[in-house]
Amino acid sequence: MANSSPRRYQSKGQRVLAWFVELIPNFFDRLFQRNSAPQLVFLMVLLLVLAIPLIITPLEIWQQGIVAILLIGLGWGVTDIEHKHAKGQTSEYLHLFMVWLSLITTFRYLYYRTNYTLNLTSGWLDAVCSVLLFLAELYAIMTLALAFFQTLKLKERKAVDLATIPENQWFKVDIYIPTYSEDVEIVRKTALGALAIDYPADKKRVYILDDGRAEKFRARREQLRQMCAELGCTLLTRDNNDHAKAGNINTALRRTGGDLVLILDCDHIPVRHFLKDTVGFFYSPKVSLVQTPHWFYNPDPFERNLQTGGKIPVGNELFYKVLQKGNDFWNAAFFCGSAAVVRKSHLLEVGGIAVETVTEDCHTSLRLHSLGYESIYYDKIMVAGLAPEKFSAYVGQQIRWARGMAQILRIENPLFNPKLKLSIGQRICYFSATSHFFYGFPRLMYALAPALFLVFGINPIRGLGLETLAYALPHFFVSTYANYITYKNVRFSFWNEIYEFAMSFHAGIVTFLALVNPKLGSFNVTDKGLSVTKRSFDWGSARALAVVTLLVIAAIAAVPFWLILRPQDAEAVLVNMAWSIFNLLLIVSALLVALEQPQLRRAHRLDRKLPATLYSNGAAVSGYTQNVSETGCQLIVESWADFLEDAEIELVGDYGARAFVKGQIIRIVPVSETQSMLSIEFIDLTRAQLDALSIVIYSDVREWYSQQRENVDDPLQSFKFIAGSFFRSFQQRNAEPSNVTRVRKQIHAHAQLYWRGQFYSGIATQISNRSLRLEIQSDAIEDVRLLEYYQPLVGVLLSQTADESLPNRLLAKVEQVDLIMGDRTIVELQFPEQVMQRQESKIKQLVDTLN
């Protein structure tokens, strides 16, 4: 997980290596004038045929050991060269070489595994487990080969400039925002973003498609109606909920008149330039769909509960940064349900959004491609959405996808169905997508295989030992190196196993049931915008994995007994022990995802660097935000100033949208000799201010900060980071920094505190718009502990000097009492919100005049 940085070739050896590396694409470019899909397929098939002798040639164990070392060393060397010296086409060709090398080592291992290690003669239980493990390995190898095919070449797209097309020829676009039961505030932010999209007003209409017709949602629908009337969008409802989201969209298709439809999940807030970057592709008449990435500004359960701190790419980055680009090369990029523009006429031609499965998006794409239409994947983040906050919600979302993909595989059979007019590349890509979620039971089998041997004496692999490792390790390492070249920025080593272990039992059940009966199961809406207020463990979602964890622990505990009682099996025992320890580290991390960590903030902060101006104490101070949300921000200012606790803040978006808000400065943290960071909480926001803030934060965005990831995978560091998950998950997180400075003006004024019918004289030393600090003689108050215990509402008389005839009268609440060494008691007072309306102007006047 080190940062990538350009390297300059210093030595002669490095310059020679760089020249050699650059020679590779030049040679292949001359050999293949057009870098087309058929040529790539032909090249890979030819190389695999030529490699058959390398796959089946038998070797002695010591010879295979040398070959294993050479293969692993070659794979590491090529990967290192690619990381340090290659880019662009050079990197692609090195990846192709590594794919070829990986397939050779994988098929050599499979050939050995099939001929020498299946345990079919030692009893029916051993035979059954041996076959199950072998099937799991076949599935993993198939998945590896399919992924290699998908990523042979990644297609990079550039937007078609609409400026070259007369505006009167631009397409009319309907923007659909389907919703069911989500919080109206979530829908409002997406509607605001859709209305703010930069596109001619007469060619764009925004529709809220509300499916919440149940009695319990009646009040919510009225709120949506009021919101639409206020903002200027159209609410569409229907009299049934048939086919859930797909049926909701299909109903709208018959009631709206646009040429294109932009579909947005109700929590996917679009940026201003969304349509200008996507609509241009549709001037090619065969284009049916333009899909863009889904991006989530809040941490998902893996990031929050394992406390990765943003150092690990989130789960969907592999799909949106690599696999969809690979699909696009084969014209197989598919619809993902949101953040996509579709051509309405093509959609109606296939009967609208597919309703036979719960992954209606991918199913619809399959039918569009089957008619010969084209799809585009444009890799630019242009929506900001909400990931499921809780692990249970994440499980529900993944279960729906797993069920839907299995349904498509069962109903459509994209690999062999002759009725589907798909190319070979499209068939393979769709088969890869629809078979992906069958990882559940194979992943569990990998965890259980060594435990079955060590705990129950069941032996699924005959002759497991050094010879098996000599064939298996090159397969494992070289395939990892091959994937590293394309995955190094989007999926770090061993994290795929954690994602799959966490979902293995749930995915295994739903895919099995979908194969048995595709009609089993129903569409479930993923809960968004939930709040996790305390630490808890989701036993319901992790129960099965917890049982597997205990079994693996028992397997490791059984090793000493094996070594004492059956020393002749030491080789197999030690290999299974190492396998179990490796599994345990990954499974425990997957299990800890169910340990819900509390959120530290009311709203999720986004790492946006927005220009800002702070107006405080009659001065305007310029700065920029370190992060920002609807409830507050951290603001970096270039100079120290006499800030008051309350201030006005102006935030400016990338395209000039502005939001003026009132904020309370909670603390100041020094950053350098000239800079300080102000933590600001927004207060008393009006509806208009909230809307303006939403536009600035989520819509007025030129490029989201997650578009480019600088971190690069380091397998060893990634494994260490996973091993540290246990300690991080149980760490107590602190929301407040330790070096805090309270924002108050230093004064020396006369004060009297009125409590229980008596006045107590003292000195006011600090004041702000929200609080006051008094110093009183320690022996003045008879029982100062009662003052601290009850924290009562008290009266305060303030004046610059003791002889003023009309001191200012205020009400304040005791917040804290500190006994100082000597003869002083410090009383911290807070001005309560309930009386601020009556005394706010008086407090501000005192802040300005007291010295």
Does the active-site annotation cover 211?
yes
Q: Are 296 and 314 in contact (CB under 8 A)?
A: yes
d(CA 56, CA 377): 40
CA 764 to chain centre: 50
Nearest to 691 by CA among 610, 628, 630: 630
Percentages helix, strand, coil for the chain (3-state, rounded to 5) are 50, 20, 35
Residues in CB range of 728: below 8 A, 6 or more apart: 306, 307
Distance, CA of 677 to CA of 670 (rounded, Å)? 6
Active-site hit among 126, 210, 211, 646: 211
Of 258, 273, 148, 282, the C-alpha closest to 653 is 273
Rounded to whole angstroms, the Cα distance separating 284 from 276 reads: 15
The CA distance from 597 to 592, in Å, is 10
Contact 757, 792 (CB under 8 A): no
CB atoms within 10 A of CB 475: 26
Catalytic residue among 267, 328, 361, 713: 361
- Going by C-alpha positions, the residue among 371, 374, 366, 370 that lies closest to residue 409 is 366
> Helix, strand, or coil here: 567?
helix
DSSP SS3 for 659: strand
CB proximity list for 717: less than 8 A, separation 6 or greater: 1, 2
Report in angstroms the alpha-carbon separations of 225 from 196, 208, 229, 233, 436.
19, 9, 6, 9, 41
Are 187 and 227 in contact, with CB atoms under 8 Å apart?
yes
Rg (CA), the chain: 32
Report helix, strand or coil for 676.
Answer: strand
Of 713, 673, 690, give the one whose Cα is nearest residue 486.
Answer: 713
Q: Which of 458, 623, 660, 473 is nearest to 555 (CA)?
A: 458
Query: What is the dihedral angle through the alpha carbons of 31, 36, 41, 43, rounded to the nearest 10 degrees?
Result: 0
Give the containing element (helix H, strand E) for 555. helix 539-557
Residue 209 corresponds to which tokens in the numbers above?
A: 């498609």
Cβ proximity of 245 and 360 under 8 Å: yes
Identify which of 649, 39, 525, 56 has the alpha carbon closest to the alpha carbon of residue 244.
Answer: 525
Q: Nearest CA to 848 among 646, 670, 649?
A: 646
The label of the residue with tokens 């090793």 reads 559
Our answer to whether residue 361 is catalytic in this structure is yes
Closest alpha carbon to 632 in 603, 611, 653? 603
| Inter-helix orientation angle 539-557/495-516, to 10° | 120
The residues annotated as belonging to the active site are 211, 361
